[in-house]
Amino acid sequence: MNINEFYSSTPAIDNGFCFTREQASHFAKDIAGDFNPLHDIETKKFCVPGDLLFSIALAKLGVSKKMQFTFSGMVTEGVNLGFSCQEADEISVVDENDKEYLSISRSGELNKESELASSLAEQYVAFSGHTFPHILVPLMEQENAMINPARPLVIYESMSIDLERLDFVNPTLEITETKLEVNGKRGRATLQFCFKVGDEVVGHGEKKMALSGLREFDAAVINDVVVDYDKRKQAYSA
């Protein structure tokens, strides 16, 4: 994955970057395999994938043994972004008005080699982009709850990684545990995973998402949502 294809540098902010709809949508579909309508070029409420911000952060900041990414705002096209301080342990991704979209906490050893950042991001993004329907639908069925099919609101809250060492490349990612906690019409999905090189576990991670507008699970309805999602994916591939 060449991350440079998916953003443009901007002189508005020191070491700043921004996105076109085409760049962000291309990343969502071709790299992450994510066909959420929010990432369609022509959609009214367009949103840059959170995993694109994560990938750029690794590319520009390097990989630390422990990293926590917390999302606080949705990025649209043309927003000039930059890092509050690239050398700090607590970093924010902000726009020209200092509005925060992502906060990053990091600690431990730091590796700035692009090969590690690229391979780690590529493995995580491929996993993260397939959260729906492969992981979320079985979880919703298990908890007898599902998102509103007319307005499927799933918000990417945070992700974290905790690595044992930083002298590896081309890891694989395996899911270790998934759960959905439901509280009325709201829920939180937690996906835990590990990074492996061969049979050796070299790190762990966790992704959290907030779900709202939950209602009783209806297999026929959710199946229609999945079918529509798959049709969108097939149409794009064709």
Taking the model in full, what pTM does it have?
0.91
Q: Tell me, what DSSP letter sits at residue 29?
A: I
Question: How many Cβ atoms are within 10 Å of 235's Cβ, its own excluded?
Answer: 9
**Domain interval for residue 215:** 3-237
Distance separating the N- and C-terminal Cα atoms of the chain: 22
Q: What integer pLDDT is reported at residue 179 of this predicted model?
A: 96
Kindly tell me if the per-residue pLDDT of 152 is higher than 80: no
Angle between helix 50-61 and 114-128 (nearest 10): 170
Phi, psi values for residue 126, rounded to 5°: -60, -40
* Lowest-confidence segment of 4-8, 125-129, 159-163, 192-196 by average pLDDT: 125-129
Report yes or no: 219 and 189 within 8 Å, Cβ to Cβ: no
Measured between alpha carbons, how far is 115 from 121 in angstroms, rounded to an integer? Answer: 10
Say what the pLDDT of residue 103 is.
97
Where does the pLDDT of residue 85 fall: very low under 50, low under 70, confident under 90, or very high at 90 and above?
confident
Task: Give the angle subtended at the CA of 175 by the CAs of 118 and 146, to the nearest 5°.
Answer: 110
Q: What is the CATH number for 212?
A: 3.10.129
**Distance from chain centroid for Cα 107:** 21
User: Does position 52 have pLDDT exceeding 80, yes or no?
Assistant: yes
| Confidence category of residue 159, pLDDT binned at 50, 70, 90 | very high
What was the pLDDT predicted at 30?
92
pLDDT score of 37: 84
- Total number of domains constituting the chain: 1
Mean pLDDT across the chain, nearest whole number? 93
- Which whole number is the average pLDDT over 192-219? 96
Main-chain dihedrals φ then ψ at residue 17, nearest 5 degrees:
-150, 160
